[in-house]
Chain A
Amino acid sequence: MGKGCWLLLVGVILSCKIPGVCLKLRWKRKNEPAPLQPATQQLQLLLQQKQQQQLDQSPPKGAGKWRKKLLTVFVLLGILTSIWLFWHLNQKIILRREHTLANMCDERARMLQDQFNVSMNHVHALAILVSTFHHGKHPSAIDQKTFGEYTERTAFERPLTSGVAYALKVLHSEREQFEKQHGWTIKKMETEDQTLVQDCLTENLDPAPIKDEYAPVIFSQETVSHIVSIDMMSGQQDLENILRARATGKGVLTSPFKLLKSNHLGVVLTFAVYNKDLPPDAIPEQRTEATVGYLGASYDVPSLVEKLLHQLASKQTIVVNVYDTTNASAPISMYGTDITDTGLLHVSSLDFGDPLRKHEMHCRFKQKPPLPWMAINASVGVLVITLLVGHIFHAAICRIAKVENDCREMMELKARAEAADVAKSQFLATVSHEIRTPMNGVLGMLKMLMDTDLDAIQRDYAETAHASGKDLISLINEVLDQAKIESGRLELEDVPFDLRNLLDSILSLSSDKSNDKGIESAVYVSDRVPEVVVGDPGRFRQIITNLVGNSIKFTQDKGHIFVSVHLVDEMKGTSDVGDKVLQQGLNLVQDMSSKTYNTLSGFPVVDRWRSWENFKMLNGKDAKDDPEKIRLLVTVEDTGVGIRLDAQDQIFTPFVQADSSTSRHYGGTGIGLSISKHLVELMHGEIGFVSEPGVGSTFSFTGAFGKGEVSSLDSKWKQYDPVVSEFQGLGALIIDNRSIRAEVTKYHLRRLGISVDITSSLESACTYVSSFFTTSAFAHLAMILIDKDVWNQETVLQLRSLLEQHRKNCKLNVSTNLPKIFLLGTSMSPVERSKLKTSGFVDNVLMKPLRLSVLIACFQEALGGTKGKVRGKKMSTLGSLLREKRILVVDDNKVNRRVAEGALKKYGAIVTCVERGHDALNKLKPPHTFDACFMDLQMPEMDGFEATRQIRSAESEVNEKLASGEASIEMYGNVSHWHIPILAMTADVIQATYEKCLKCGMDDYVSKPFEEEQLYLAVARFFESGL
């Protein structure tokens, strides 16, 4: 287990060492140059490095590496700590163990020694006793019996001795006498070598051989009585002992040997007994001389030690061995079992009082040391904690690195997205510019064409082409704006516009297609809808164009497309619907059984009321009712293929078409309806539809608009104004078998102020005409409009003759008062039309869809006289607007300046030119006589924005003075409020520039180079009122 741990540690260290070394090297390398630079320079260097790194696109990697290195260092430190901890704790444990062992061992040794010494002292005392009472007294006071008794009784004082005996020194000369005296012979020991085990039966022993002297035992303790009469000098060990004892006068010890009889390992302590007191410095010869006997005591070492150990606690824990180490190379074991190596060993020396003999006590623990669990646990704990923390940090670092990586990627993507965004807007700007340029050519040429001598039809064509071109440009702008819808940045304009004209132009744009397909298209606006509404005409047009475009696309060469506009309020109460077109929509459901339907073209249509039945606005859920706002309901009805029921749910989802084959059959991207929906929502409206496959679809939407003042518009209407007044009060008869279609025609005629009567057939028309001949109403009847469906040459001839007759009857002037006859047709070739015209059946043919400009042109031509009036009116208007006006032109480019001057002068203006913004400031300081200022935007020193700002601030200063009465009006040219119209001249007419112009106080802008119409529109705002 322990080895395994170590291996693991070593493995970990090795695996960490290599990166660690690298780490150190890099540390050094990185740190080396740093101290060379001062702090600021270092900072700059760091910044540069940072930038450089950013260029290299790998800044966080360095940081991540540092963190990893730190982590590695941390883990290494942790591992080293745990190793050190293990070693330290283990060392401590071992030390404590050694200490314990040493303490125990020394204690035991000391005790043994003490007890041994005590016993020795007693033996010494016994020797003195013998000397005193045996040799000092005559006759001796001690005999065997006394000695035995006494020693037995004092044995408690010598617990370590197994027995004591006294041997007398007997010379050979005295042997005989001695033997006689005691009645036994001196015996010798069985073998000289006492280390061998001896049997000890005195009777069996041989008498001692003749020697110089003998030491036969005369007294002995009971325990060793068997040695009485044995010559101690016959044993090798005892002999040496005796000789040494009497020479030194101290107690001496034998080396351990088996004791007689008991066979225990033991040592014998011998004291010499002298007959007189010897001085401590007596020489050995003197001592030998004085020796009379020897007292010996045998120590039974094993039992001795055993006894001792018994007295001590914890004897179980250690093993004790006692050795005689007099001969160092071959120690003799005195106590103890065989040695098992348990690691630790403590040796304590024993001093038993014999300087020649050396004894040692060896102590060992019984058990091998247990594993140092505490150290292992602690170090493993530290290691585990380190690794865990390391793991956590590693995970965190990885996470940080990942996040940083992601962040960098995001930054990169963001940068790319931003770049793409910039590129996109640049692209759009360029493209719009590039498209505008050729379109300007087209429009300019058309404009020029329109300035030439054209008849009304040609003029209409040219105007339509011009209008289409303009629509194309505005459509391009719309496409550019489309992205704005998605990003929610689209804002609706609030400008007054003529709804009816707008619808006319939409229809005329799509009339080519619908006429090609033979579809009849018509527009109807309820009387209750005001002439001018305030809203976003572009967006409104976009929605309707889209819906109408869809209708044309999905309607196949039959039927009609009908656009109608009503007020939402008209729908609210179905019971009292005043509008006839609406009524017919209602009646439709009831008339289903009749063969032809009462619709525009006679084909069945879906119930349009169902298309708006879910609108909140209609159901009154939308409570807020702003009196300033009007809500329009626009319906686009067609007789197309309809939308499959299962596809109706997702018709407003972008890029989804009803059928995957739709785009193949009909083309388109499928985004139109979704855009329309967004736009309608921006107009606070709702969009809905009802569709039946095979019958057709009706789309309806509502929108909130403001009420506009008629005068706020300087539209086409103005251009026609004198013409329109010409038609005022005329009467017309419409002959049409479909009442709804007649209603539409009536609507258009009413716009011109013509009063209308309707009949459903030519026959009834004849009766109508004849019945009215006499009335004054007939005098006003200027035109008869006949629909193609009821056209019948003979009846028309009849009608004509009827009229001729009437004229003759009344003897009226030939040139006047005869009602003109017009034919209303949907799809007729020019040849057909001219044939009809030349044959004299009709005065002119009107092509549907009807629109105001066509009607006016046709009527003018037919009713005669006023042709050509329209032309050039605008020119003169612009001329009259600008005539004698003092205008300041500010432009740094002299070519531009000259051109602007020339253009304005052409319209009769008095032009002053300045070159710089400062000059303009001086010129326009009130009071001045200028009526307007055209300002270039980009100029050196002071640009147009700044110049305008300063002019405005100067003006407001003056105005304040005037208001507070500080300055009299006379001082400032009798003008109570100074505000000179400033118009920006700019080449890029984008919305942002326009907004910036307005922000700094400009009134409007004109595109550079001047475009006549735009110039007119811009200037008209300021000068018209003054006309």
Chain B
Amino acid sequence: MDFVNQLQRKFIDYSSSLHREGIVDDQFTQLRKLEDENSPHFVMEVASLFFEDCEKLINNMAIALEQKQGVDFKQIDECIHQLKGSSSSIGAMRVKNACIAFRSFSGAQNREGCLRCLQQLSHEYSLLKNKLQTLFRVSVASRCLYVCLVIFCRENEPAEPFPDVLVFQLEKQIVAAGGSIPRVH
């Protein structure tokens, strides 16, 4: 069990470090709470939607800013609004803050400032992506390990690769048997 505990601690540490560094905020925690057996990968799903969206928007803005003959600030403003909305929805605080700064520059039609902000934004974005992907990996790993261990201990299920639905089912059974599932937050 030690190994699992370690992994779990690592996961919790990692998750709280994300909070501490301001990469994610309360909303992210809220999102995690929304995960249940019906949508076990809710956060990951939303995050991948976000990444997709984000990459597209950043790309669009980069192209728009490259335009030699007049930058379409209205388009940039729309992109930024979108990005701000989605980043605040998943609780990506630093990305959101970068968006706010960006928006003030695009409002002032300051191309230099916009370019700087775009750079900052893509930096924050890649940081977030990195961190979240690590987090997901740790999360999945810890869950799997835990369930493995439980299964190993109880010896009532065959040792197979674990689809997530199965993991949740297992967890449910654990709860039913009086055990407790460590929550990830």
Residues of chain A touching chain B, judged by Cβ–Cβ distance below 8 Å, are 437, 440-441, 444-445, 448, 892-896, 898-900, 902-903, 905-906, 938, 940, 987, 1008-1010
Specify the main secondary structure of chain A where it touches its partner.
Answer: helix
B38 at the interface (CB under 8 A from A): yes
How near does chain B come to A469, taking the closest CB pair, in angstroms? 13
Can you list 7 A-B pairs, Cβ within 8 angstroms, ordered by A? A444-B30, A893-B53, A893-B82, A895-B85, A902-B31, A940-B78, A1008-B89
B88 at the interface (CB under 8 A from A): yes
Q: Point out the residues of chain B lying under 8 angstroms from A898, CB to CB.
A: 45-46, 49
B26 at the interface (CB under 8 A from A): yes
Q: Is the CB of B90 within 8 A of A899?
A: yes
How near does chain A come to B164, taking the closest CB pair, in angstroms? 16
A903–B26 Cα distance when bound, in Å, is 14
Q: Point out the residues of chain B lying under 8 angstroms from A1008, CB to CB.
A: 85, 88-89
Q: Point out the residues of chain A lying under 8 angstroms from B26, CB to CB.
A: 440-441, 444-445
How near does chain B come to A1025, taking the closest CB pair, in angstroms? 28
Q: Point out the residues of chain A lying under 8 angstroms from B90, CB to CB.
A: 895, 899
B9-40 to A contact mask, C-beta < 8 Å, 1/0: 00000000000000001110111011010110
A987–B27 Cα distance when bound, in Å, is 13
Q: Is the CB of B34 within 8 A of A903?
A: yes
Q: Is the CB of A902 within 8 A of B39?
A: yes
Kindly name the residue among A440, A448, A898, A987 whose own CB sees the greatest number of chain B CB atoms within 10 A: A898
A892–B25 Cα distance when bound, in Å, is 23
B110-125 to A contact mask, C-beta < 8 Å, 1/0: 0000000000000000
Beyond contacts A895-B89, A1010-B30: 5 other A-B pairs, Cβ-Cβ < 8 A, are: A893-B53, A898-B46, A903-B34, A906-B36, A1008-B88
Kindly name the residue among B26, B45, B78, B86 whose own CB sees the greatest number of chain A CB atoms within 10 A: B26
Q: Point out the residues of chain B lying under 8 angstroms from A905, CB to CB.
A: 34, 38-39
How near does chain B come to A589, taking the closest CB pair, in angstroms? 56
Q: Is the CB of B88 within 8 A of A987?
A: yes
> Lowest 7 CB-CB distances: which A-B pairs, in order?
A895-B86, A444-B26, A899-B89, A902-B34, A896-B89, A1009-B27, A893-B85
Q: Is the CB of A895 within 8 A of B50?
A: yes
Q: Is the CB of A987 within 8 A of B85?
A: yes
Given contacts A899-B90, A987-B88, contact A906 B53 (CB under 8 A): no
A898–B43 Cα distance when bound, in Å, is 10
B42 at the interface (CB under 8 A from A): yes
Partner of B46, one of A441, A445, A902, A906: A902
Closest to A899 in B: B89
Kindly name the residue among B25, B30, B39, B45 whose own CB sees the greatest number of chain A CB atoms within 10 A: B30
Q: Is the CB of A895 within 8 A of B53?
A: yes
Q: Point out the residues of chain A lying under 8 angstroms from B27, CB to CB.
A: 1009
Q: Point out the residues of chain B lying under 8 angstroms from A892, CB to CB.
A: 82
Specify the main secondary structure of chain B where it touches its partner.
Answer: helix
CB proximity to A under 8 Å, residues B159-175: none
Kindly name the residue among A448, A893, A894, A905 whose own CB sees the greatest number of chain B CB atoms within 10 A: A893
Q: Is the CB of B91 within 8 A of A448?
A: no
B131 at the interface (CB under 8 A from A): no
Q: Is the CB of B31 within 8 A of A896?
A: no
A895–B95 Cα distance when bound, in Å, is 14
Q: Point out the residues of chain A lying under 8 angstroms from B45, CB to CB.
A: 898
B81 at the interface (CB under 8 A from A): yes
Q: Point out the residues of chain B lying under 8 angstroms from A938, CB to CB.
A: 81, 85
A1010–B34 Cα distance when bound, in Å, is 12
Given contacts A902-B34, A1008-B89, contact A444 B29 (CB under 8 A): yes
Q: Point out the residues of chain B lying under 8 angstroms from A902, CB to CB.
A: 31, 34, 39, 42, 46
Closest to A940 in B: B78
Q: Point out the residues of chain A lying under 8 angstroms from B36, CB to CB.
A: 906
Q: Is the CB of A448 within 8 A of B29?
A: yes
Kindly name the residue among A448, A900, A906 whose own CB sees the greatest number of chain B CB atoms within 10 A: A906
Q: Is the CB of B39 within 8 A of A1009?
A: no
A892–B33 Cα distance when bound, in Å, is 24
B75-88 to A contact mask, C-beta < 8 Å, 1/0: 00010011011101
A878–B27 Cα distance when bound, in Å, is 19
A59–B34 Cα distance when bound, in Å, is 65
Q: Is the CB of A896 within 8 A of B85?
A: yes
Q: Is the CB of A906 within 8 A of B34?
A: yes
How near does chain A come to B33, taking the closest CB pair, in angstroms? 8
How near does chain B come to A433, taking the closest CB pair, in angstroms? 9
A437–B87 Cα distance when bound, in Å, is 14
Q: Is the CB of B49 within 8 A of A1009?
A: no
Q: Point out the residues of chain A lying under 8 angstroms from B53, CB to CB.
A: 893-895
How near does chain B come to A436, taking the closest CB pair, in angstroms? 12
A661–B36 Cα distance when bound, in Å, is 62
How near does chain A come to B41, taking the closest CB pair, in angstroms? 11
Q: Point out the residues of chain B lying under 8 angstroms from A896, CB to CB.
A: 85-86, 89
Closest to A903 in B: B34
Q: Is the CB of B88 within 8 A of A1009?
A: yes
A945–B53 Cα distance when bound, in Å, is 25
Q: Point out the residues of chain B lying under 8 angstroms from A903, CB to CB.
A: 30, 34
A902–B30 Cα distance when bound, in Å, is 11
Q: Is the CB of B86 within 8 A of A893?
A: yes
Closest to A900 in B: B89
A448–B32 Cα distance when bound, in Å, is 13
Q: Is the CB of A895 within 8 A of B49?
A: yes
Q: Point out the residues of chain A lying under 8 angstroms from B33, CB to CB.
A: 906
Closest to A444 in B: B26
Q: Point out the residues of chain B lying under 8 angstroms from A893, CB to CB.
A: 53, 82, 85-86, 89
A987–B38 Cα distance when bound, in Å, is 28
A892–B84 Cα distance when bound, in Å, is 13
How near does chain A come to B84, taking the closest CB pair, in angstroms? 8
Given contacts A441-B26, A444-B26, A987-B88, contact A899 B39 (CB under 8 A): no
Closest to B93 in A: A437
CB proximity to A under 8 Å, residues B56-87: 78, 81-82, 84-86
Q: Point out the residues of chain A lying under 8 angstroms from B39, CB to CB.
A: 902, 905
A710–B163 Cα distance when bound, in Å, is 52
How near does chain B come to A989, taking the closest CB pair, in angstroms? 13
How near does chain B come to A962, taking the closest CB pair, in angstroms? 38
Q: Is the CB of B91 within 8 A of A1009?
A: yes
Q: Is the CB of A1009 within 8 A of B46?
A: no
Q: Point out the residues of chain A lying under 8 angstroms from B31, CB to CB.
A: 899, 902
Closest to B42 in A: A902
Closest to B46 in A: A898
A892–B86 Cα distance when bound, in Å, is 10
Closest to B30 in A: A1009
Q: Point out the residues of chain B lying under 8 angstroms from A444, CB to CB.
A: 26, 29-30
How near does chain A come to B76, taking the closest CB pair, in angstroms? 14
Q: Is the CB of B25 within 8 A of A441?
A: yes
A905–B33 Cα distance when bound, in Å, is 12
Kindly name the residue among A440, A894, A899, A905 whose own CB sees the greatest number of chain B CB atoms within 10 A: A899
A895–B90 Cα distance when bound, in Å, is 8
A894–B90 Cα distance when bound, in Å, is 11
Q: Point out the residues of chain A lying under 8 angstroms from B89, CB to CB.
A: 893, 895-896, 899-900, 1008-1009
Closest to B97 in A: A437
Closest to A1012 in B: B30
A896–B84 Cα distance when bound, in Å, is 10
A440–B88 Cα distance when bound, in Å, is 13
A184–B90 Cα distance when bound, in Å, is 170
How near does chain A come to B35, taking the closest CB pair, in angstroms? 8
Q: Point out the residues of chain B lying under 8 angstroms from A448, CB to CB.
A: 29, 185
Q: Point out the residues of chain B lying under 8 angstroms from A894, CB to CB.
A: 49, 53, 86
Q: Point out the residues of chain A lying under 8 angstroms from B49, CB to CB.
A: 894-895, 898
Q: Is the CB of A895 within 8 A of B34?
A: no
Q: Point out the residues of chain A lying under 8 angstroms from B78, CB to CB.
A: 940
How near does chain B come to A514, taking the closest CB pair, in angstroms? 32
How near does chain B come to A452, taking the closest CB pair, in angstroms? 10
A7–B41 Cα distance when bound, in Å, is 106
How near does chain B come to A498, taking the closest CB pair, in angstroms? 29
Kindly name the residue among B29, B34, B90 whose own CB sees the greatest number of chain A CB atoms within 10 A: B34
How near does chain B come to A328, taking the closest CB pair, in angstroms? 101
Q: Point out the residues of chain A lying under 8 angstroms from B30, CB to CB.
A: 444, 903, 1009-1010
